[in-house]
Amino acid sequence: MALLEWSDDLSVGYGPIDEQHKKLIDLFNDLDAAIGSGQAVDVIGGFLEELIDYTAWHFRSEERLMEAHGYPDALAHKVQHVDLTEQAEDLQQRFLDGDHDLADTLVPFLKDWLTNHIMQVDKQLGAFLAAKAA
């Protein structure tokens, strides 16, 4: 069973961002499943890298939308992206350095962060973009 399930509660009301969030959740669940089934460290590391790479791409995509549409809260939103990226990369580095128990830290951290960020700041952005598109 997937740790994080997509539901309409997570929709930000703007289709292109929802599609990226669904992909992000899929990648997160792949990582969690790999950890849960005791996959080799390099396999887990590969899933982790894929998730972090896609997250970086997704953040840039949201930031381009904010710039293109003159979103007033762009700076505060971007600060959250930078903050998550730094924390995730720090955890990834510690994992690569051999601290493999981080699976217990990393998965709950990412789950909470993704959920909170989507439910709060991404929903505000989605509502703004949906209103612009209307």
CB of 10 to Fe ion, least distance (A): 10
6, with CB counted inside 10 A (0-12, 13-18, 19+), is: middle
Residue nearest Fe ion (C-beta atom): 122
Compose the 54-73 pattern: x for residues touching Fe ion by CB under 5 A, - for all others. --------x-----------
83 vs 104, which CB is nearer to Fe ion?
Answer: 83
Cα–Cα distance for residue pair 58/52, rounded to 1 Å: 10
Per CB under 5 A, contacts with Fe ion among 72-131 are 122
Token digits for 39?
A: 């996959």
Residue 114 CA: distances (Å) to CA of 27, 39, 41: 12, 23, 23
Cβ–Cβ < 8 Å for 63, 129: no
CB of 115 to Fe ion, least distance (A): 11
CB of 48 to Fe ion, least distance (A): 18
Compose the 9-48 pattern: x for residues touching Fe ion by CB under 5 A, - for all others. ----------------------------------------
Cα–Cα distance for residue pair 15/19, rounded to 1 Å: 6
**Number of residues lying near Fe ion (CB under 5 A):** 2
Taking the alpha carbons at both ends of the chain, their separation in whole angstroms is 37
> Footprint of Fe ion on this chain (CB under 5 A)?
62, 122
